[in-house]
Amino acid sequence: MPAETPVAQAAEFDWQELGDKTYTANCMACHQANGQGIPAAFPPLAGHMPDLYSAEGGREYIINVVLYGLMGEIEVNGAKYNSVMTPWAAVLSDEQIAATLNHELTSWGNDALLTDFMPIMPEEVAAQRDKGLSSADVLGLRPE
């Protein structure tokens, strides 16, 4: 039997409910129910995730942010943020991380900002898991 194509695999990954539940339980306190974040503390995901996803290396970057955390100053929509994002590798499964990222990418109007969206798959998360990055390393990978 031939290997499944990425499109077929994506169609089989039912991430919507898992992504919503995982976001609500783990991400919402900082990034808020509407994805707007908290000014001067935690950056918005609404209107920003599609930019990261679409940038060169963006898919891997957003996976690494969730796996390894993020430390250092970033700028989002002209505002500077210098909080610490907790690494979630020890807490969340590959499926939960992929589902949550897909939830973020398709919520709060972000879906309208995406072109050629292909869901992030658990296998992509697993491939980044053994990189051993620090949260400061992840900052250095941030797309312009």
What per-residue confidence (pLDDT) applies to 9? 55
State the Cα torsion 46-50-52-55 to the nearest 10°. Answer: -160
Domain with 47 in it? 17-140
Average pLDDT rounded to a whole number, residues 85-108: 97
Domain CATH code at residue 132: 1.10.760.10
Asked if residue 86 is part of any domain, the answer here is: yes
Q: What is the pLDDT of residues 7-59, one digit of tens each?
A: 545 557 899 999 999 999 999 999 999 999 999 999 999 999 999 999 999 99
pTM equals 0.90
Q: What is the pLDDT of residues 98-135, one digit of tens each?
A: 999 999 999 999 999 998 899 999 999 999 999 999 99
Overall number of domains in the chain: 1
Of 17, 5, 4, 6, nearest to 121 (Cα)?
Answer: 6
Q: Which two tokens stand for residue 27?
A: 């991400």
